[in-house]
Amino acid sequence: MQRRDDTPPVAIIGGGICGLTTALALERRGLTVEVYEAAAEYRPVGAGILLQTNALVAFEMLDVATEIRESGMPLSEVQIRSPNGQVLQAFDLDAEQDAFGHRYVAIHRAELLDILRRNTASPIHTGKRCTQVSDPANPTVRFADGTQIEPGILVGTDGIDSTVRDAVTTASKQSLGTTVFRAVTSVSLSEQHRTTGFEVWGNGTYTGGAPVGPDEFYWFATAPSELSATAAVDDIRAFFADYPAPVPAVGAAVTADELITTDLADLPPLDQWSRGATVLAGDAAHGMLPFAGQGAAQSIEDALALAAALGSHTSVADAFAAYECERISRANRVRTESHRLGRLGTMQSSFACRLRNTAVAALPEAVFKRFRRRRVANASVFPAEEPSGALSAPETPEERSV
Ligand SMILES: Cc1cc2nc3c(=O)[nH]c(=O)nc-3n(C[C@H](O)[C@H](O)[C@H](O)COP(=O)(O)OP(=O)(O)OC[C@H]3O[C@@H](n4cnc5c(N)ncnc54)[C@H](O)[C@@H]3O)c2cc1C
């Protein structure tokens, strides 16, 4: 491919988790990168995020795992509970640490972006909203401020509503028809909740969260049919008042200013992430529902895989083919798993919710553990050799139904 001299060799559109991680990964491979972010500035707002073990394994390879762990909250356990507090399943993260050298970390999103920005040497241009990409083979990127660039390689990490994606495919997001409330709030937590993350598979709602700091908690809940997307914080608080601890305390602490409301959507599975010199990564390629807690982790895996492919192939076409081969089926599998969990987690019939919870409680612990471990063991960051925690046994029907 012919490179044009006066423009960056690699332009990344979107400076979120995937864009910044991709910049970091490409820099480590010696590529010259510039990032273009729509927001005028990075502000310390937003919700929390749970980074599962595969995300930490990938971040370790970029030398930022320690900083992330120290700024967030490494968890000792995650639980699935019923609305009356019964622990349906528990996932011990000390075992995860033994197997993979890492465990889940809950962190404020703004903190995570800050760490990635601090570690990225590439220029990050803010206030650069991409409005159009023409000719994906020799891309010209136009911005809302009237400027344009012509990079040698264009990476679209501009999220689920990606503009860059329009140059690659006609696919667009599909709504789940459910809203999620999220907040990070200051609350005094009992010892028991200081390092435990949890999900409550409730009646018509899926709620949960994790501590992101000693007295800071990241809480989320899908809106049950009783609450509209514009529900007042008092009504949300009242609905969750009888949920297991620490939900009522967290609800009581959340203020209207802290509440973020998002309509849930995902992309259909795409079979092509690139066209010409233009390639997609992160939510732009596989925006998924949050129920598997893997959207960011998959985006981070994309970043490493794309950098490895571009670093080891002289032809962009070969690099993109290797990247797509490495990533598409895995990301689509996780996306489909998250979609199924989303349908289960947001069921409204209380009879069906009780039936679902009985089934989850009845799952043998080993099956549940194996299913969750597989997400890490199959990570794209382990292409060559199996980590000590890798699980190679074929999936069982029980695992597939989780
Ligand atoms: C409710 C909820 C909870 C979640 N919880 C988890 C979790 O616990 N763990 C997990 O792993 N994942 C979670 N996810 C998924 C995770 O948030 C996403 O997968 C992840 O943020 C994707 O990163 P990204 O950089 O691809 O996209 P984004 O985070 O959407 O970032 C895209 C960036 O591009 C910028 N941008 C957008 N349009 C343009 C444009 N036209 N021009 C230039 N820049 C542009 C945006 O401003 C933004 O900075 C959750 C998602 C939701 C909705």
Cis peptide before 214 (omega within 30 of 0): no
Give the CATH number for residue 356.
3.50.50.60
Residue 384 lies inside a defined structural domain of this protein: yes
Does 219 map to a domain?
no
Distance in Å, CA 165 to ligand 1 centroid: 15
Give how far the C-alpha of residue 331 lies from the chain's centroid of Cα atoms, to the nearest Å.
11
Tell me how many domains the chain contains.
1
Atom 3 in ligand 1: which residue has the minimum CA distance?
A: 290
pTM to 2 decimal places: 0.93
Taking only the tens place, the pLDDT of each residue in 22-45 is 999 999 999 999 999 999 999 888
Q: How far is the CA of 106 from the centre of ligand 1 (A)?
A: 16
CA distances from 12 to 71, 116, 151 (A): 26, 14, 9
242 within some domain: no
pLDDT digits (tens, 9 = 90+) for 250-307: 999 999 999 999 999 999 999 999 999 999 999 999 999 999 999 999 999 999 999 9
Ligand 1 atom at minimal distance to the Cα of residue 37: 44
E strand intervals along 147-215: 148-149, 153-156, 174-186, 196-201, 206-213
Residue-number span of the structural domain to which 41 is assigned: 10-173+266-400
Closest-CA residue, ligand 1 atom 49, reads: 16
Which atom number of ligand 1 is nearest to the Cα of residue 36? 43
Task: Look at residue 65 and tell me if it is in a domain.
Answer: yes
Q: Distance (Å, rounded) from C-alpha 86 to C-alpha 107?
A: 26
Residue 332 lies inside a defined structural domain of this protein = yes
Question: Is 388 contained in some domain?
Answer: yes
Residue 4, domain member (yes or no): no
CB of 357 closer than 6 angstroms to any ligand 1 atom? no
- Is residue 391 a contact partner of residue 377, using CB atoms and an 8 Å limit? yes
In angstroms, what is the span from residue 87 Cα to ligand 1's centroid?
Answer: 30
Q: How many CB atoms lie within 10 A of CB 165?
A: 26
Nearest CA to ligand 1 atom 35: 14
List the chain residues with pLDDT less than 70: 1-8, 382-402
Residue nearest to atom 37 of ligand 1 (CA): 158
Residue 54 covered by a domain: yes
